[in-house]
Chain A
């Protein structure tokens, strides 16, 4: 790809980007969220038309008008959010749009299944073409996506943040698959913002920032630190110095908690945990093992079936959200756009979303716009939220800035702070910032409950680590004794 430029209203998403991918190499495309990685790949896949620049394949310029063009030219893409139909089988999903026919009407399922098995075998894993996709684990679904691309004879495979949803073991497995593919001559573009993974898997790494290429490096000749500085454009510290925790009295105590999810399955099944003042307790686990329901039950958004939640010794099980919050909880929800913010509202309204009814933001029923605006300006300045002003709508901010706004609002003098996926999908710079603030909160005596699917984040921040598997705590480590491998195994299997 040469000189690729793409302008969106108000931003230059790609500014004369050159990217060369050789046959049989894994090329990592590294950059913060909003740096233009996905736009670049969408251009390659024909989803977006570039304003300038050209794409050259095997020495001759090509135009890729739509994804069908891309597929025909041997480009396959595995999106971050899988494009699979859950109720169809593996074979049906793989064949969808490229069916093997037996006559004009009938699918040749046998032939399709045979080809899928052969592909999987070639890659070194087993796959059951007859299994329904909804029954597969996330890691298995990802393999189905890869098989789907290869089934369409992809020579260039683009993977968008492939490890975001995987456990460490699943990540290792997928890396094995990718290396094997590379050795057989497939070119792989690996989009990521995780530095260590890029260093582990890539043959070459291209770093982009704000739509421009900052540099190309060979993994052997660079370091995490150099890559991070290139990505962010300034010197960042990758390891936040956690210091020493001084745990005080127990603030949050959960005993024997049982909670059902929306579909009526019991996903929290007799869970105990406690968090002390001045301590960060990290809950590690593969997504979907009850973390969401656990947090929602603590903050009152979901009624527990059984068990007790006490805050500073007072039972608050099953109380409505506002009463629990008034007992002294700050809560950064996992999904900032669904729960944490009202995207259609300006920043100032969002800054007081959880305390809009309290003085000084309201006296009786009357809102005080001046106090609200003052609070918004204060939070925006203190948390370095990048915005033209407090009156723009939250929807216009980038993900990292939206998250900073939620964090700014929720971090305060509460006794308990619940952080659910506090840095999911946001850039290194904002992550570093939020981690520092979380530690500052702990040092000020707040009890912090951290829930994250990102094991690195858990290991980095937590003074105590709990591993959750199928709604129960299956492992309990202090930060000194925590071993990455053991925790990974516990996350995946519930036993090590």
Chain B
């Protein structure tokens, strides 16, 4: 009983700040909702935010369709959040999830179109594998550059995001454009589409994302590789002293992180979008950063954060229909959450939470620069 209580207490210590940040973000967004309704001439409705949040909730959780929509929206965010969370554990900030997501989506779409007539098991497995591999390759490049030369991964991944998006736009226009469409896109994926398990749209990718959470948690907590990743993240000098090669671990971690980002792209492609065209939404890449931060880089935290962000995405259309509060308010709420997490002093002040640096196991070194000499 006491063991359970201490675990709950530990959990609460980690979760306090994210939960308070959400509360504060919703409160400020409420003010914005009321004000924007006044400024647009719709009138002064002080209770409008409550009504809007009510339909947001109904759109996200009110009934089977709503819940599957939430889960489907949450799945790629979960994988993307894990990608970034894994990087954080090794002290790496993989901003390249957006590019890895696109690369994964593209590779899955191309292989899927090729295998559209193949047996389902083969088509799905091969396309998913292609997506994961593409993401891993794209992630390994900045990882290797960081480990070998000290080039900061934030810079290299941001640049690679642009390179990937433009390269893929060219590829879909000139290399793999499917005939018979008025705009450049890949062919239909046919049998490579992820099987729908439940309702209208709950595809195989959703349970995969949940499994991913527990696999990653197991990897980090229970395996020697996870220990090496965490050691490199917490103290690269001690890692070298202990015989771990930061060169290998940094490259490998970035590859694994990219793999998760590519997988996020693959399930979104094979489960939702269906074909690659330049300009497909890559919001997952950036929202994943928010998910990872809100989840405090912990796999379980990321699971809940992804569900929340998925619920926002799934519920927002109903909110707009029923209350005329625009969907974009969701972006404002998400941005505020991140702002309050980054500047946690504000949250601590507002809610009088005392800072206890020694017992915040969720606190992680987000990123660290190091030079050549410590890795060579």
* Given A341-B238, A353-B242, also A365-B231 (CB < 8 A): no
Given contacts A262-B373, A321-B241, A321-B243, could you give 9 more A-B pairs where the C-beta distance is less than 8 Å?
A: A322-B244, A342-B231, A343-B234, A344-B235, A349-B227, A353-B241, A367-B222, A367-B224, A367-B227
- Residues of B with C-beta under 8 A to A369: 222
Q: How far is the CA of A342 from the CA of B240 in the complex (A)?
A: 12
Q: How far is the CA of A356 from the CA of B244 in the complex (A)?
A: 11
Say which one of A137-145, A284-292, A332-340, A433-441 lies at the interface with B.
A332-340
Which of B225, B234, B241 contacts A344 (CB under 8 A)? B234
Sample 29 A-B pairs with CB under 8 A, ordered by A number: A301-B240, A301-B241, A303-B376, A320-B245, A321-B240, A321-B243, A322-B243, A325-B243, A331-B241, A333-B241, A339-B237, A339-B240, A340-B238, A341-B238, A342-B234, A342-B238, A343-B234, A344-B235, A345-B230, A353-B241, A353-B242, A354-B243, A356-B227, A365-B223, A365-B224, A366-B223, A366-B224, A367-B223, A367-B224
Whether the Cβ atoms of B224 and A357 lie closer than 8 Å is yes
Closest to A349 in B: B227
B358: Cβ under 8 A from any A Cβ: yes
A135: Cβ under 8 A from any B Cβ: no
Q: How far is the CA of A127 from the CA of B237 in the complex (A)?
A: 39
Q: By CB atoms of chain A within 10 A, which of B223, B224, B225, B358 has the most?
A: B224
A1: Cβ under 8 A from any B Cβ: no
Closest to A369 in B: B222
Whether the Cβ atoms of A320 and B243 lie closer than 8 Å is yes
Q: How far is the CA of A342 from the CA of B230 in the complex (A)?
A: 10
Closest to A323 in B: B243
A395: Cβ under 8 A from any B Cβ: yes
- Residues of B with C-beta under 8 A to A393: 358
Q: How far is the CA of A362 from the CA of B223 in the complex (A)?
A: 8
**Interface bin, chain B:** 20 to 34
Q: How far is the CA of A206 from the CA of B234 in the complex (A)?
A: 40
Q: Which 8 residue pairs are nearest across A and B when measured between Cβ atoms?
A: A322-B243, A339-B241, A344-B234, A342-B235, A365-B223, A321-B243, A342-B234, A357-B224
Q: How far is the CA of A357 from the CA of B234 in the complex (A)?
A: 18
Task: Give, as a whole number of angstroms, the nearest-CB distance from B128 to chain A.
Answer: 23
Q: How far is the CA of A163 from the CA of B235 in the complex (A)?
A: 30
Closest to B238 in A: A342
A314: Cβ under 8 A from any B Cβ: no
- Residues of A with C-beta under 8 A to B227: 349, 356, 367
Whether the Cβ atoms of B223 and A353 lie closer than 8 Å is no
Q: Main SS of the interface on chain B?
A: helix
Closest to B356 in A: A9
- Residues of A with C-beta under 8 A to B358: 393, 395-396
- Residues of B with C-beta under 8 A to A357: 224
- Residues of A with C-beta under 8 A to B234: 342-345
Closest to B226 in A: A367
- Residues of B with C-beta under 8 A to A322: 243-244
Q: How far is the CA of A326 from the CA of B243 in the complex (A)?
A: 10
Q: How far is the CA of A325 from the CA of B243 in the complex (A)?
A: 8
Task: Give, as a whole number of angstroms, the nearest-CB distance from A349 to chain B.
Answer: 7
- Residues of A with C-beta under 8 A to B222: 366-367, 369
Whether the Cβ atoms of A353 and B224 lie closer than 8 Å is no
Interface string of A297-330 (1 = CB under 8 A from B): 0000101000000000000000011100100000
* Given A322-B243, A354-B243, A393-B358, also A362-B238 (CB < 8 A): no
Whether the Cβ atoms of A362 and B373 lie closer than 8 Å is no
- Residues of A with C-beta under 8 A to B376: 303
Q: How far is the CA of A341 from the CA of B224 in the complex (A)?
A: 17
- Residues of B with C-beta under 8 A to A344: 234-235
- Residues of B with C-beta under 8 A to A338: 235, 237-238
- Residues of A with C-beta under 8 A to B241: 301, 321, 331, 333, 339-340, 353-354
Closest to B218 in A: A366
Q: How far is the CA of A353 from the CA of B235 in the complex (A)?
A: 12
Task: Give, as a whole number of angstroms, the nearest-CB distance from B371 to chain A.
Answer: 9
Whether the Cβ atoms of B243 and A362 lie closer than 8 Å is no
- Residues of B with C-beta under 8 A to A320: 243, 245
